Amino acid sequence: MKQVYLDNNATTRMREEVLDAMLPFYGQTYGNASSVHGFGRAARKAIDDARQKAADLLGAASIEEIIFTSGGTEADNFAIKGAARALKPKGSHIITSSVEHHAVLNSCKFLEKEGYKVTYLKVDRYGIVDLDELKESITDQTILVTIMYANNEVGTIEPVEEIAKIAKAKGICFHTDAVQAVGKIPLETKSLNCDLLSMSAHKIYGPKGIGALYIRKGAKITPQMHGGHHEMGKRAGTENVAGIVGLGKAAELAKKELNEEKRKLSDLRDYLYKGITSRIESVRLNGHPDKTLPNTLNVGFKYLEGESIVLNLDMEGIAVSTGSACTSGSLEPSHVLTAMGIDPAETQGSIRFSLGRDNTKEDMDYVLDVLPPIIKRLRDMSPLYDNRK
């Protein structure tokens, strides 16, 4: 059966070049990067090379601004808890948004239990945070603003440049979860003026279980992992050398291919969306028509239940999801679509197609052949569809 993977915002297939770069570090190059002998030095050199590649992709001023973590989730936890703890003497108020990934939302919720106050900014119907509400929310207690670069469920790109300016003008630390933006759209930490930025390798065709936090030189952050003097004293633990090498290779390739890939994916995405709307009625686009990631298409099929669409597509070899990987399987409506003010009846039937570098026009045509009869069959069975008039 034909297989079409359209869940690249959940994870991506690791590239051959990345695997090839990693393999020696599971074999003959096994030294501990902290050791002074040749074995150790070989591992250290590989880590430094990878750090340079990550710094290049993120447009960092120096490689010392890149700290490797176990993934995007740890980078978010480190950024938020680490900044909150370091800045506690200045205040205890944090501002985030209501559409963040759970790595950010639940880090903030955890800090609330520790006595911090958190403001969750509202978003408009496209998922964009309200800059006026941000300005009004800032108090003399505000120490951290954490707003994602681009949303994993609907693809909406937040006005991070403006947010960074607002935070900087008030001397407030700004963190952005850029896990979905890195490698997909051009971004540069130097000019962005963010203090902290999270990325993850497995969202850019690298291995799972490795990520990085960009920490601007001079930004205050308290380590959350204690032990040896690894990662410039900011994150203890013997380095995951193979993973770091994989992240470096994925970063190098992402930087080289970014523009070409961006164009290719947005063309395919637009083709898919046009095909869906011309073949199926009562479809809504969830997200912003142009301030969006090139690879993400979230559409609501009115009168339907997303899980049943996912399962029916799965039977035809097509992998999509109802939203984020973390919430699928639960029947709770997406917090992102809910925050965007979408009617619960419509959030239910929403599907995320997230494209990747392996996808072709033939894949889109296959979806466009398979999807309309599924939607028709499910709607024919749906009492909501019967009662729609």
Residues that bind ligand PLP in the complex, under the rule CB under 6 A: 71-73, 76, 101, 103, 148, 152, 177, 179-180, 200, 202-203, 211
226: its two tokens: 């204690």
The CB-of-204 to ligand PLP minimum distance in angstroms stands at: 10
Distance CA 299, CA 17 (A): 33
Nearest-5° Cα angle at 302, 299 to 305:
85
Do the bridges between strand 296-301 and strand 350-354 make them parallel or antiparallel, or are there none, so unpaired? antiparallel
Helix, strand and coil percent figures for the chain, each rounded to 5:
45, 15, 40
Distance CA 113, CA 351 (A): 34
When the beta carbons of 92 and 200 are compared against ligand PLP, the nearer one is 200
Beta-carbon contacts of residue 175 (< 8 Å; ≥ 6 apart)? 76, 79, 80, 83, 144, 145, 146, 194, 195, 196, 197, 198
When the beta carbons of 76 and 239 are compared against ligand PLP, the nearer one is 76
The CB-of-174 to ligand PLP minimum distance in angstroms stands at: 16
Burial of 321 (0-12, 13-18, 19+ CB in 10 A): buried
When the beta carbons of 148 and 313 are compared against ligand PLP, the nearer one is 148
Reply yes or no on whether 326 is catalytic. Answer: yes
Does residue 198 sit in helix, strand or coil?
strand
85: its two tokens: 């703890």
Residue in 108, 173, 194, 326 annotated catalytic: 326
With beta carbons less than 8 A apart as the criterion, state whether 388 and 303 touch.
yes
When the beta carbons of 202 and 335 are compared against ligand PLP, the nearer one is 202
The CB-of-197 to ligand PLP minimum distance in angstroms stands at: 11
Place of tokens 């046009």: 274
68: its two tokens: 């490797």
Positive or negative, the CA dihedral 325, 330, 332, 333 is: positive
The CB-of-306 to ligand PLP minimum distance in angstroms stands at: 18
Cβ neighbours, 10 Å, residue 386: 11
The CB-of-203 to ligand PLP minimum distance in angstroms stands at: 6
Cβ neighbours, 10 Å, residue 232: 13
Beta-carbon contacts of residue 10 (< 8 Å; ≥ 6 apart)? 321, 324, 325, 354
The CB-of-80 to ligand PLP minimum distance in angstroms stands at: 12
**Which residue's Cβ has the minimum distance to ligand PLP?**
72
When the beta carbons of 103 and 108 are compared against ligand PLP, the nearer one is 103
When the beta carbons of 81 and 302 are compared against ligand PLP, the nearer one is 81
With beta carbons less than 8 A apart as the criterion, state whether 308 and 92 touch.
no
The CB-of-147 to ligand PLP minimum distance in angstroms stands at: 11
When the beta carbons of 155 and 300 are compared against ligand PLP, the nearer one is 155
Residues labelled as active-site residues = 326
